[in-house]
Amino acid sequence: MSGEEAGGGRVVLVGAPLGNIGDASARLREVLATADVIAAEDTRRLSRLARDLGVTVRGRVVSYFEGNDERRTPELVEALAGGAVVAVVTDGGMPSVSDPGYRLVRAALDAGHPVTAAPGPSAVTTALALSGLPSDRFVFEGFLPRTGSHRRSRLRELATEPRTLVFFEAPHRIAGALADLAAIFGADRPAAVCRELTKTYEQIRRGGLAELAEWATADEPRGEITVVVGGAPAGPAARPDDDELRAAVARRETAGTSRRDAIQAVADEYGLKRRDVYTLVHSAQ
């Protein structure tokens, strides 16, 4: 599949197995064996993937990951200009989803080079399908901000989103992220934590956000994690009595949310004015 034979350089986004090698497609094998250049998120993982598939990689292999993508992209566009077929492969799933593949796609299109795909597995749609939550309309949010304050700010923006939400999260941040989700979205909002999809130790944990936060704190799950959260119910929830409103604020504070943010989250959840919830909480003290 040289660039000259194919009529000019082009980018091929290649979907790699999430974990189970049996999910590799025939086109994945073909592209790995014939591409002129392979831009891999991790060159060692690419070597292992090719070995497991029994594929001999004849093209030039370069690393392409968040951190070197700004420098590497012009080199790859230059290769395209010379007629090369450039394959993009991530550690698992489809390139250009929460990885630097997007930068090359945009640069290639801007330079007039075609982009195509050898589609394959996706952690986003796999987790969504396994979650048991509505999948007819959903929003993919990628990774949440790393720091707690920025994460909570982003979640407040999403608290009333009616569509199912899908997030990626790192193992060392999953407990904190779930606690913030429970505090801002509500303890009983249904969700699923999908860990190590298609691998030997695949695990799907379903339940309310508070329950999942407790589990993650106790079990410290490892591996690659995708979180699926049910959308906000239509319209504000029915207003509970004053004691329950105070308790709702207290639960969020216990989960680590500041009082100000807890009051705002409860006000948003029940369609109340923030100052009314503030007065209610402070009148009991």
Q: Domain containing 258: what range?
A: 242-283
- The verdict on residue 1 lying in a domain is no
- The verdict on residue 236 lying in a domain is no
Kindly tell me if the per-residue pLDDT of 19 is higher than 70: yes
Burial call 246-285: b when 16+ CB within 10 Å, e when fewer: bebbebbbebbbeeebbbbbbbbbbebeeeebbebbeeee
Residues 84 and 180 in one domain: no
- The verdict on residue 234 lying in a domain is no
Residues 14 and 105 in one domain: yes
Going by pLDDT thresholds of 50, 70 and 90, the confidence category of residue 237 is low
- The verdict on residue 192 lying in a domain is yes
The answer to whether 160 touches 232, Cβ cutoff 8 Å, is: yes
Residues 14 and 116 in one domain: yes
Residues 112 and 133 in one domain: no
Residues 221 and 262 in one domain: no
Residues 130 and 225 in one domain: yes
Domain boundary among 121, 148, 180: 121
**Regarding beta strands 164-169 and 225-229, do their DSSP bridges make them parallel or antiparallel, or are they unpaired?**
antiparallel
Domain boundary among 121, 143, 158: 121
For 101-158, write each residue's pLDDT tens digit: 899 999 999 999 999 999 999 999 999 999 999 999 999 999 999 988 899 999 989 9
Work out whether the CA dihedral 128, 131, 135, 139 comes out positive or negative: negative
For residue 98, the model assigns a pLDDT of 75
Residues 46 and 145 in one domain: no
Kindly tell me if the per-residue pLDDT of 39 is higher than 80: yes
For 126-141, write each residue's pLDDT tens digit: 999 999 999 999 999 9
Going by pLDDT thresholds of 50, 70 and 90, the confidence category of residue 7 is very low
**Residue among 105, 85, 110, 104 nearest 34 (CA):** 85
Residues 96 and 141 in one domain: no
The CATH number of the domain holding residue 17 is 3.40.1010.10
**Is 237 buried (19+), middle (13-18) or exposed (0-12) by CB count in 10 A?**
exposed
**Residue among 139, 100, 97, 141 nearest 119 (CA):** 97
Going by pLDDT thresholds of 50, 70 and 90, the confidence category of residue 204 is very high
Which of 9-13, 149-153, 170-174, 237-241 comes out lowest in average pLDDT?
Answer: 237-241
For residue 154, the model assigns a pLDDT of 94
For 64-98, write each residue's pLDDT tens digit: 998 899 999 999 999 999 999 999 999 999 998 87
- The verdict on residue 2 lying in a domain is no
Residues 150 and 261: their CA atoms lie apart, in Å, by: 12
Domain boundary among 188, 204, 229: 229
Residues 26 and 117 in one domain: yes
How many independent structural domains does the chain possess? 3
Residues 221 and 254 in one domain: no
Question: What does pTM read for this prediction?
Answer: 0.80
The CATH number of the domain holding residue 206 is 3.30.950.10
For residue 1, the model assigns a pLDDT of 45
Residues 46 and 132 in one domain: no
Average pLDDT along the chain: 91
The answer to whether 109 touches 5, Cβ cutoff 8 Å, is: no
In the chain, pLDDT over 90 holds for what percent of residues?
A: 73
Residues 115 and 149 in one domain: no
Copy the structure tokens of residue 130: 């396994």
Residues 21 and 80: their CA atoms lie apart, in Å, by: 29
Secondary structure, 3-state, 227-239 = EEECCCCCCCCCC
